[in-house]
Structures are given as structure tokens and as C-alpha cells.
Amino acid sequence: MNDEKEKQQKDDESLNSFSGDAAVRAEAAREAGEEKRSKQAHKRRNYQKRKENRRFFRLIWWAMIIIVSAVVAKYMLTGMNDLLAIGRSSATVTVEIPESVTEKEVSMSQDNIQGLSFQQISAAKQSNQEVTRQIAQILKKAGVINEPDFFCLYSKIRKADGSYRNGSFEVKTDLDYEGIINTIQSTVNRKDIVKVTVPEGLNAMELGALLEQNGICKQEDFLKELNTDAFDSSYTMINDLNGVSGKYYKLEGYLFPDTYQFYQNEDVQNIVQKMLQNANSQFTQQLQDEAKNQGYTWDQIITLASIIQAESANEEDMYNVSSVLHNRLNSGKSLNIYTLDCDSTKYYPYRTKDDIPEDQRDTYLSNYNTYQLRGLPAGAVCNPGLKAIQAALQPNKTSYYYFCHNQTTGQAYYASTYAEHQANLRTAGLL
């Protein structure tokens, strides 16, 4: 072994010694060539690998495109079929959209979004889209649609989000999406209609309670709506109200007594609007001009009529009660009579002392109490009918300054003097 190493060493020494520079260069060239061929071979192998990889990934890419296209095509096909109601059976079903769903909607009208920030508008759109998703699930459960996601997409493109209604609707299952949206955005097909009779003389709190009992709206929401300015520009009859302070409920007296048809969970603005429209048609310009000619504002006549409505036993009684009130207002000073002294004003906005919350009952003082304030209170104490309004405008001509009623029979007693009134009180069983 050692002999071989020595021999190789001698050969190397011989090469170095006798070959010269040419041999060294030849050896270097040979090694460089081998290195170049090795690199080229490595490049060819890498190129081949890249080519194979590209071919593989190209196959994967095309497979993905085909799969996605198939999924999208199926989605579009089933969605379009559902949009056009293709394949749906023909029936009529009841769809219940609860208020708890639509109460989250935000109107995207220009007036409503004016002044909102970009973030607020985005949040409103997201809220409306969530409402649409819930409605789509309700429609699917009822058998009206099959593809809730596609319905949501259509609703968004059509800009229908944010304008759906709560309620009970009769919907045909063979309607296309456009027909379905039109149905549940309209009141025409609603079946949850409630007929309510509002009697003459009901005050705002009692009316709100009546509406709540019938599932039309919450009393709290109704009373809150009565103090808004939303209707000011629509009705000249309430123009006087902005200059009057101290009212408990601004629109008390203008909620005209009648029989109405409302929807369950109706928007409170629609409720008040319907009552104001009725009042506006009943309170004719002739009546309002007559009030003006007598030196009264229309609101003062409504206030006077509300007291007449609340205090009178019947229509005939209204004209004598009106006479007493007019006499006190116009000439009571000459007899040291400065107040109207009407029980109907004493506890307003409550009807009686028992209606006042117990923790306030013993200390409650109404701003409308005509036993203490002079002249008319700031507003109406109830919602009068036309007969009471006519009595307020056309009182009987009497010398009466006092009236009272038997609480059992309703018999009315009138008096011109305090002494006569005291005798009437005893006769009526009030003393």
C-alpha cells in the first residue's frame, strides 16, 4: 500500500517536473469542461423538473377552474330557476315577518343618510343585509323560495334592502323574486288587519293603551310620536302648536275619534298620520275660520271642545256646558270668577287620581288643573268629536256660570249664582 502511494507521488512529481505549463493548462481545461458539463446537466434536470411542475400545476389550475365553473354554473342555474320561480309549485302561504326582524332596518333614503359618516352608512347597509338574510330564511321555511342566498344577492342588486315590512302576508309560491319583494314591501297583501274603534273623549294615554291591547303598537312609542315635529309641514291645522308651551302631548285633541283599520305592529308614524289625515278632513276651513272670527285660535277651540267632551253627559248637555265655559272666560271677572274649575283637567294626562302612579298620587299636580290656573289649559285633555267642537263654537246663550252632574244618572244641573250651584250640588248628591 505504501509502495503504491510512493509510486503515485513519483508520477505526480514527474508530471510536474517534465510536463511543463502546457500539461497544467490542459488539465485545468479538462476540469473546467467537466464542471461546465456538470452545470449544463444540472440546468437540464432543473428545466425538466420545472417543465413537469408547470404541467402539473397547469392541470391543477384547469381542474380548479372546471370545478369552480361547475359550482358557479350550478349556483347560477339553480338560483336563476328560483329567481324566475321555475319548478316551484303553485300555492298561497302565510308568511309571518316579526317586528323583531324589521326593527333593525335603516332607511337608505337620501334624507335619512344625509350627514352620516361612511362608517355609519356601511353599518346601516350591513344591518339591512342581515335583515334580508333573516327574511330569506323565513321565506324558505314557508316554501316561497328555495335559494335564500340567491334571494339576498338579488335583493342587494335591486337595492331592496332596508325597505321590508313586518306583518302577516299572503304570498303565492309561484311568484318570481320581484313579485315576492313587491308583496312583502306592500301592505296590500297583509292579512293581520285590526279594526279599532276610537270613541270620542279618549285621551292620549287611553288611546295608546287601546292600540297596545290590540297589538297595533306599544303605548310608549305612540305617546312619544305625539310630541314629534314630523307632521308640522303637512297640516296647517297644527301650525299654532309650535307657539304653545306646557303641553303634555302636542297632538292631543287632533287624533280624531273614528273606526280605523290598522296592521298589527304598525309603524307609529303611520298610525298618527292616519288619525291626523282624518282630523284634517273633518276640521274644515269653515270651522277654522269661525274660530278665528270669534277671536280664538283653532287649538284653543280644540282645547275647549275637549273639556266640553269630557264634562258633558250628552250632546244636548254640550251646548250648556259650553255656555258655562264661555261665560266664565268672557265675563267671569265681573263676578270674581277667574277659573274654569273642571274636574277633567285636574289630573291630566291621567283620567282620575287612581290612574296616577301610586308613588306620585298624593303629591301630583297637573299643569292643566283649571281649579288653579286661569283661562284655558295649554292643550286638550282628550280627543273631541265634531259635536263637541260645534258646541265649542256655538254655545247656548245662557247666564250660567256653574254646572254639575249626578254621578249615577248623568242628570245635568246648571246655575247662574254660587248659591244656586250649592243647591244643585246637594240635589245631585255631591254634597
What is d(CA 276, CA 166) in angstroms, rounded to the nearest whole number? 23
**Rounded to two decimals, what is the model's pTM?**
0.70
SS3 46: helix
The residue extents of the domains of the chain are 92-105+119-184, 193-278, 285-427
Q: Show the cell assigned to 141.
A: 321555511
How far, CA to CA in Å, does 256 sit from each of 15, 201, 210, 272, 291? 127, 10, 14, 10, 18
SS3 101: helix
Q: Is the dihedral of CA 142, 144, 149, 153 positive or negative?
A: negative
What is d(CA 389, CA 351) in angstroms, rounded to the nearest whole number? 20
What is d(CA 421, CA 126) in angstroms, rounded to the nearest whole number? 68
pLDDT in tens, the chain (431 residues): 555 555 555 555 554 544 567 777 777 777 777 777 777 777 777 777 777 777 767 777 777 777 777 666 666 778 788 888 898 889 999 999 998 898 888 888 877 788 888 898 999 999 999 999 999 999 999 999 999 999 999 999 999 999 898 888 999 999 999 999 999 988 777 888 899 999 999 999 999 999 999 999 999 999 999 999 999 989 999 987 877 889 999 999 999 999 999 998 888 999 999 999 999 999 999 999 999 999 999 999 999 999 999 999 999 999 999 999 999 999 999 999 999 999 999 999 999 999 999 999 999 999 999 999 999 999 999 999 999 999 999 999 999 999 999 999 999 999 999 999 999 999 999 99
Topology (CATH) of 92-105+119-184: Dna Ligase; domain 1 (3.30.1490)
Q: Comparing C-alpha atoms, which of 146, 172, 134 is closest to residue 80?
A: 146
